[in-house]
Amino acid sequence: MSNEQVTVELVQQKDYRFDIHFGGTVPHLIGDEPAPLGSGKGPSPVQLLCAAVGNCLSDSLLFALRKFKQSPEPLTATVVAQVGRNPEGRLRVLRMDATLQLGIPATQLEHLDRVLGQFESYCTVTQSVGQGIPIVLKVLDANNAVLK
């Protein structure tokens, strides 16, 4: 994806609930703030941000491993956003902690050190978001061994 535009359209349904359209055949989804602002009928913007970071990191790791014909499936990702107040007292995402877990033990994968050393730099979303929000990444194998 170089020099490409991505367009997403949001249409307000009620209060803080929006119908989010991605175009083409991609299914739409509902975004909503949790109570007391919204009714929690869909993921919040912070949850969508976490999903975008986790999805991009997972895609990058999977792509890098598959370049070496490795099958780490099933991958899982957990992203936790720490939300708090900035010096002006406004709510902000202060930090994100992302944990990726491989579906198999690390001993079953070749070239893992090389992949772990470079896959993160190819993650478009994480590298972009990380310019404004610290993102701490941890990678585990299926045995919960910390690899990164």
Closest CA to 106 of 144, 54, 132: 144
pLDDT of residue 6: 92
Amino acid at 117: G
Q: Are 136 and 96 in contact (CB under 8 A)?
A: yes
Choosing among 3.40.120.10, 3.30.2000.10, 3.30.450.20, 3.30.300.20, the CATH entry for 45-140 is 3.30.300.20
84-105 pLDDT per residue, tens: 999 999 999 999 999 999 999 9
Q: Are 126 and 56 in contact (CB under 8 A)?
A: yes
- Position 3 confidence tier, pLDDT thresholds 50, 70, 90: confident
Q: Are 125 and 59 in contact (CB under 8 A)?
A: no
Please say if the pLDDT value at position 25 is more than 80.
Answer: yes
Please say if the pLDDT value at position 1 is more than 70.
Answer: no
Average pLDDT value for residue range 38-63: 97
51-73 pLDDT per residue, tens: 999 999 999 999 999 999 999 99
CA atoms within 13 A of residue 50's CA, in its CB half-sphere: 20
pTM above 0.75, yes or no: yes
Q: State the virtual CA torsion across 104, 139, 123, 16 in degrees, nearest 10.
A: 100
Question: Where do the domains of the chain lie?
Answer: 1-43, 45-140
